Amino acid sequence: MPEAEPRTTESFCDAAWARTAALLDAIHGHPFNTALGEGTLSRDRFVFYLVQDGRYLAAYAKTLATAAARATDPADAMFFAQSAHTALAVERALHTGYLDGFGMGAEDVAAVATSPTCLAYASYLQATALTAPFPVLVAAVLPCFWVYQDVGTALLERTAGLDDHPYRTWISTYSDPAFAASVTQVRRIADRLAATADPETRRSMTEAFCRATEYEWMFWDSAWRLETWPTGQWLTTAG
């Protein structure tokens, strides 16, 4: 009798992270993040990022709330419900604090159109929340946590000792050890679900993880390019 194939011991998260290694390097080395770390990122680009991120967070919180509703394990439901709250409460405070400091009030923010990339990422997450198997939804929300912790920690190392750094508050949010604990938790949930998922679901989980990581790169890139709708010129302004 032929010997059974050895079962792979590599976790879903380790495999997914390895698959996105070059993309993660590209995220770390993106001019937006280099300039953010150096403190030379222009106010325009940072404001663009913050306004779009506010829109993203509203959609992301709904995605997490849907994950809480769909979770069968009460501990998972608690984690996602708590994270939905954090996304809205803590992060919105961060955004509003910066935007107020830049003289951008609620009305100025409301007047900005949601960018194509932000809309695509937010729509992708919300569609996944409503139509994909639960493990695939978890894989899709994972890069948001994980990539930010990775980027935040790297930025903290690069900017250690620079107390007057203009984007210090942003950097410390994502390099906070309490935030690292939430990354560990969501990784554990993803690994547990992947361990019992059928091969097709596991493949879809990897695809969702990669797609969301691509959107993370695109999000920073869209802020760097101050992305607009190429079709905007043909629409009359709202009366």
Ligand X SMILES: Cc1ncc(C[n+]2csc(CCO)c2C)c(N)n1
Q: Annotated active-site positions, please? A: 144, 216
CA neighbours closer than 13 Å in the CB half-sphere of residue 185: 15
Compare residues 76 and 216 and give the one whose CB is closer to ligand X. Answer: 216
Quick check: 26 binds ligand X (CB under 6 A)?
A: no
Tell me the window of 128-136, 140-148, 198-206, 231-239 that interacts with ligand X (CB under 6 A).
Answer: 140-148
Closer to ligand X by CB, 59 or 194: give it: 59
Q: Is 145 in the site for ligand X (CB under 6 A)?
A: yes
- Of the pair 127, 195, the CB lying nearest ligand X is at 127
Q: Closest separation between CB of residue 61 and ligand X, Å?
A: 7
From the list 9-17, 56-64, 155-163, 226-234, the region that binds ligand X by CB under 6 A is 56-64
Pick from 86, 96, 172, 206: which binds ligand X (CB under 6 A)? Answer: 86
For residue 236, the minimal CB distance to ligand X (Å) is 31
Q: Which is nearer to ligand X, 86 or 96 (CB)?
A: 86
Contact 174, 152 (CB under 8 A): yes
Contact mark string toward ligand X, 89..128, x via CB under 6 A: --x-------------------------------------
Structure tokens at 210: 């990669």
Comparing CA positions, the residue from 228, 230, 216, 229 lying closest to residue 32 is 216
Q: By rule CB under 6 A, what count of residues binds ligand X?
A: 13
- Determine which residue in the list 99, 140, 144, 197 makes contact with ligand X, applying CB under 6 A: 144
The reply on whether position 83 binds ligand X by CB under 6 A is yes
Which lies closer to ligand X via its Cβ, residue 97 or residue 198? 97
Q: How far is the CB of 56 from ligand X (least distance, A)?
A: 5
Tell me the CA distances in angstroms from 160 to 31, 174, 190, 223, one per residue in order. Answer: 19, 14, 32, 25
How many Cα atoms within 13 Å fall on the side-chain side of residue 129? 20
Q: Does 219 bind ligand X (CB under 6 A)?
A: yes
Which of residues 70, 148, 176, 211 is near ligand X by CB under 6 A?
148
Q: Which residues bind ligand X (CB under 6 A)?
A: 53, 56-57, 60, 83, 86-87, 91, 144-145, 148, 216, 219
